[in-house]
Amino acid sequence: MPTLADSLTGVVHLVEGRLVALYRRLCAARVKRIWVEMIGLAVRSVLGQYATFSGRASRAEYWWYSLASAVSLIALSYLLGGSRLGAVLIIMVDLALLVPGLAVTVRRLHDTGRSGGWIFVALVPFAGAIVLIVMMALRGEPGDNGYGAPHPLG
């Protein structure tokens, strides 16, 4: 026969389980909001410096912008890929994103203390892309370097 203590323990576990579930939902919503804010900041920052190849770009700015542009191009391909007009629109968007993509890559290289000329390492088949990805993932130099002050998103 259950005692009062057993009943109270059951209630405590039930409430605790519901509180944990609520906490997890709140954390997930907060993380989603932070992701959306970070993507928005990165996209505004990169597109606001459309063809600026000087200065520095943080890892966050580079990777969030890369994620946003890749997802948008994949979504456009999925939605419009079946028609000639869709293919033309996708090519136009891809070309429009080419210059800011190159610019943020050069600025990211600057953040790691490298010249923007390192972008050409990507032209080396297979290994070049891997080397460039590794350089993009490295931590930027702390403080000012020869290319300016660290990016505020950093």
**pLDDT tens digits for range 7-53:** 556 655 666 677 677 667 767 777 677 777 888 888 888 999 999 99
Domain membership flag for residue 142: no
- Of 73-77, 88-92, 102-106, 148-152, the range with the lowest mean pLDDT is 148-152
Q: In which domain, by residue range, is 89 found?
A: 4-137
If one compares 104 and 83, the residue with the highest pLDDT of the two is: 104
Domain membership flag for residue 65: yes
| Rounded CA separation 100/90 (Å) | 16
Domain membership flag for residue 43: yes
Domain count, the chain: 1
| Rounded CA separation 118/92 (Å) | 27
| Rounded CA separation 32/63 (Å) | 16
Residue-level pLDDT at 40? 86
Give pLDDT tens digits for 99-142.
Answer: 999 999 999 999 999 999 999 999 999 899 999 999 999 999 98
